[in-house]
Structure 1
Amino acid sequence: MSEISLYIGLLSLVLHLPVAVHGVDHYSRTDFPADFVFGSGTSAYQYEGAASEDGRSPSIWDTFAHSGHTNGANGDIACDGYHKYKDDIQLMVETNLEAFRISISWSRLIPNGRGPINQKGLHYYNNLIDELISCGIQPHVTLNHIDLPQALEDEYGGWLSRKILKDFTAYADVCFREFGDRVLYWTTVNEANIFAVGGYDQGIIAPGRCSDRTRCSWGNSSNETYIAGHNILLAHAAVVRLYRAKYQAIQKGYVGFNIYTMWFEPYTNATEDLIATQRANDFFIGWLIDPLIFGDYPETVKKNAQTRIPTFTKLESEQIKGSVDFIGVNHYTTAFVKDNPSILEADNGGFSADLAAQIIEQQGDTPQDQYPVLPSGLYGVLEYLKQVYGNQPVYIHENGQMTRRNGTLNDTPRVEYFQAYIGSLLDALRNGSNVKGYFAWTFLDGLELLDGYGTSFGFYYVDLDDKDLRRYQKLSARWYASFLKGKTRSNSITEVGKGTSVPLRYQFIQ
């Protein structure tokens, strides 16, 4: 079957099943397998704060944020999780979390990127992991969440150099050795595709490189995205080889790889838009997942990128193929794809131009500062991964609703979003998807990637005007806690919210 025929078949399957569009209206935690894990998550720079304390050195995200990006905000203090993690874990217990996803700050653990371990950083992460486990919460750990030590960026260009392979593997070795007796689930790089595109093609996230000199002081969009992505894959494969050879037999853990995924729909039924939609999947998913499963990049990506994308040697291809125990998925929304071949000829052509298509996010009547509730998108992504990649184990690492960060605790749109998407997740699971867990983004309102503290994703509001950064429980936290407890036959927003009069569109029952 051709790629476009496969895609059209998948599209028909996903879009024309009413259950996939609307999700399950009535469900409970007990409808999911006992070993399915529900949790929430955060990342080091968005949560920890204490940016200059106890030996931590700057990361590329520190540098980027202090250069005026992220809406003028930075993670110097963030949620102050470095000091408040015990109290926060008690909130997780109250929310009935089964797991929590964290990332380790490389520059806190090994400040120079290589060499001596910072004992205070090691102490913090040991305490954090121990506290989670003592409270019955399973830790899932990401090694790199867009926060490479600035020292390595300055020394050799970070992910643009093959030197990163040795340093990243040595850093991973420290993490496996020090924490692997308690951590079973590891992810090498978070949103590797968006990190490479945003950091090296568009310049909108750290390290802020691109060809457009109106917003980037350095960089070359035409090839740096592909070089960074290539080195990320090689480094990931090296880390997996290390873990399998040295640790897996004893620790019994798993190492995965995380990407950002939209669900793409063709803008029209024209053949050009259908083909462009498959091309979007090739570039956003296949570019980095194909090598992990098949050993090479998709043909469409190689054709459009030509000599600007590196090639794998035969040995590298063999080493990368099969180097993943699970795929981590970050999913928030759905987009239309419109064919646009003219941008392929752009003078500074890079990833965005090679895609040769326009990505148009669906919004409808939804406020601009929120995602539309389109749960069929999550179903579609999971169905696509199942059929194209042999139904590899999948964890939903991020899924959540954005709202303005205004202190409102009655976050009804977030509850409706979670209710719909978890229902769609259950649909996918019942249809054979090998999805193993779901992590709601995020537990606390922290620093967000593009908007600083302007937008909110958290179950808990953090009052930045309070010197103690007091946490306040939102309606969504009570809803999630009630769902995870699984003892209430019927929970509407009215019931969960203790008096608020806003009705819930769906209900879950035991």
Structure 2
Amino acid sequence: MHGASGDIACDEYHKYKDDVQLMEDTGLEAYRFSISWSRLIPNGRGAVNPKGLQYYNKLINELISHGIQPHVTLHHTDLPQALEDEYGGWVSRKIVKDFTAYADVCFRKFGDRISYWTTMNEANVFVLEGYDTGFLPPQRCSPPYGGNCSTGNSSTEPYMAAHHILLAHASAARLYKKRYQDKQHGVIGLNVFCYWFIPLTNSTEDKIATQRAKDFYLGWFVDPLVFGDYPQTMKKIVGSRLPSFTYAESSQVKGSFDFIGVNHYITMYVNDNPSGLNMEDRDVLADMAVQFTRIRNDTSIFEYPIAPWGLQGILEYIKQFYGNPPVYIHENGQRTRRNSTLEDWPRVKYLHGYIGSLLDALRYVCRPYINLTHDDVRVLS
């Protein structure tokens, strides 16, 4: 608007020292940030950009000098354009080799000071929005599912990209564990976006649909990491469009993580919607065969509803279904409008609720939230 652009936005590149000082003043003990593959290795492979290398070294050193622990994510939506142009990026198996080589550079150059590595941010949202709806880069999609994309196939490419992400993650994790972990004493994991899902009604159909939504959103990535294969629900519905792991690939993916990263903001009602399964060419959302409705409470339409039990539900589910692996909550918080006052009580109320719910989960307080219905939630909220 009015000729403005995002060329200079937060500008941490130049103001990282001021930012880190603000972190220390706030009392932060850790800082999660993403390394840009494009900034570090502009062509995707080959020569490292010395200015990019210098920037990340300075940022990491500044954080450590202020007693702040860096948590690093290797891929956060952006991919070097050269690899997208050459072979389509994540829809090609070639990405596995290039991503592993990029990760190797990061482990080698920064690993002496980094103890927490995340290979991919919101892997599930990245493939859904980047290869199904086309709302995120690389904006690949196809009608009638996606937006205004110039290329892509919403019916197959999300599953292909997800498969290659899992193989690339496993390859990078195997490299880290083999070559660096004993010396650097760090851990490596993968991040997923997690809604908490509850059935809209107490019907059997909505309860089954809720589990199906969990399988497609969370199980799509976590099942292979824990069990070595995709959920049976997905295999049955998606069929041949869902890539298969070879025995060797399954063995490499299974157990290729030290933790699961979780991003969570809101809880959704789920009700069964099998009409999508009747379509000849389906995308992921049609395969899921559900309808989502965001829960509401006393917050404004703009603000996220405050439902802390949703976070507890996710943590209990991961504990019970996946064998209680280590979990890092990478993202959680309230959104506010521009020009909000410093008396940000909606954010205070939101964080107070979710931190309290997390404390309850750590204390093993079990509440019957996993199978709540619409009526139950209305009372509790």
**Common fold: TM-score over 0.5:** yes
The answer (yes or no) to whether the contact 1:211–1:348 under 8 Å persists in 2 is no
**Pair 1:411-2:338 in alignment:** no
**Pair 1:148-2:79 in alignment:** yes
2:295 alignment counterpart: 362
Q: How does 1:304-453 map to 2 (within 5 A)?
A: 304-431=237-364
State which of 152, 160, 163 in structure 2 corresponds to 1:227: 160
Distance 1:393 1:338 in 2: 31
Q: How does 1:58-73 map to 2 (within 5 A)?
A: none
- Over 3 Å counting, the alpha-carbon distance change for 1:167 and 1:432 in structure 2 is farther
Distance 1:318 1:83 in 2: 44
Distance 1:399 1:206 in 2: 23
Distance 2:13 2:319 in 1: 38
1:208 alignment counterpart: 139
- The residue type paired with residue 179 of structure 2 is K
* SS of alignment partner, residue 403 of structure 1: coil
Distance 1:165 1:110 in 2: 16
Shift of 1:364: 3.4
Distance 1:235 1:242 in 2: 11
**Pair 1:248-2:191 in alignment:** no
Q: How many residues are aligned here? A: 363
Distance 1:78 1:230 in 2: 34
- Over 3 Å counting, the alpha-carbon distance change for 1:73 and 1:209 in structure 2 is farther
Distance 1:147 1:200 in 2: 14
Q: How does 1:9-24 map to 2 (within 5 A)?
A: none
* SS of alignment partner, residue 364 of structure 1: coil
**Pair 1:118-2:49 in alignment:** yes
1:95 alignment counterpart: 26
Distance 2:281 2:149 in 1: 13
**Pair 1:183-2:114 in alignment:** yes
Distance 1:78 1:188 in 2: 25
* SS of alignment partner, residue 263 of structure 2: strand
**TM-score, normalization by structure 2:** 0.93
2:40 alignment counterpart: 109
State which of 192, 217, 225 in structure 1 corresponds to 2:123: 192
**Pair 1:171-2:137 in alignment:** no
The answer (yes or no) to whether the contact 2:297–2:306 under 8 Å persists in 1 is no
State which of 65, 70, 78 in structure 2 corresponds to 1:134: 65
What is the CA deviation profile of residues 120-178 of structure 1, one whole-angstrom value per residue up to 9, with x for unaligned ones? Answer: 10000000000000000000000000011111111110000011011100000000000
The answer (yes or no) to whether the contact 2:135–2:147 under 8 Å persists in 1 is no
Distance 2:9 2:123 in 1: 23
Calculate the aligned-residue CA RMSD, in Å: 1.5
Shift of 1:347: 3.8
1:239 alignment counterpart: 172
What is the CA deviation profile of residues 87-123 of structure 1, one whole-angstrom value per residue up to 9, with x for unaligned ones? Answer: 0100000110010001001111101010001111000
Shift of 1:74: 6.2
The answer (yes or no) to whether the contact 1:221–1:348 under 8 Å persists in 2 is no
Give percent identity, aligned residues only. 65
Shift of 1:75: 4.2
Q: Which structure 1 residue ranges, 5 or more long, are not aligned?
A: 1-67, 434-510
Shift of 1:250: 0.5
Distance 2:212 2:206 in 1: 9
Distance 1:234 1:73 in 2: 40
Q: How does 1:51-62 map to 2 (within 5 A)?
A: none
Distance 1:348 1:360 in 2: 24
Distance 2:160 2:212 in 1: 20
- The residue type paired with residue 60 of structure 2 is I
- Over 3 Å counting, the alpha-carbon distance change for 1:345 and 1:74 in structure 2 is farther
* SS of alignment partner, residue 269 of structure 2: strand
* SS of alignment partner, residue 266 of structure 2: strand
* SS of alignment partner, residue 268 of structure 2: strand
The answer (yes or no) to whether the contact 1:329–1:397 under 8 Å persists in 2 is yes
Distance 1:160 1:123 in 2: 31
Distance 1:292 1:75 in 2: 37
- Over 3 Å counting, the alpha-carbon distance change for 1:75 and 1:429 in structure 2 is farther
- The residue type paired with residue 363 of structure 2 is R
2:190 alignment counterpart: 257
Q: Which structure 2 residue ranges, 5 or more long, are not aligned?
A: 367-381
- The residue type paired with residue 10 of structure 2 is C
**Pair 1:266-2:199 in alignment:** yes
2:224 alignment counterpart: 291
Shift of 1:360: 1.0
* SS of alignment partner, residue 302 of structure 1: helix
What is the CA deviation profile of residues 251-288 of structure 1, one whole-angstrom value per residue up to 9, with x for unaligned ones? Answer: 01100000000110000000000000000100000011
Shift of 1:407: 4.2
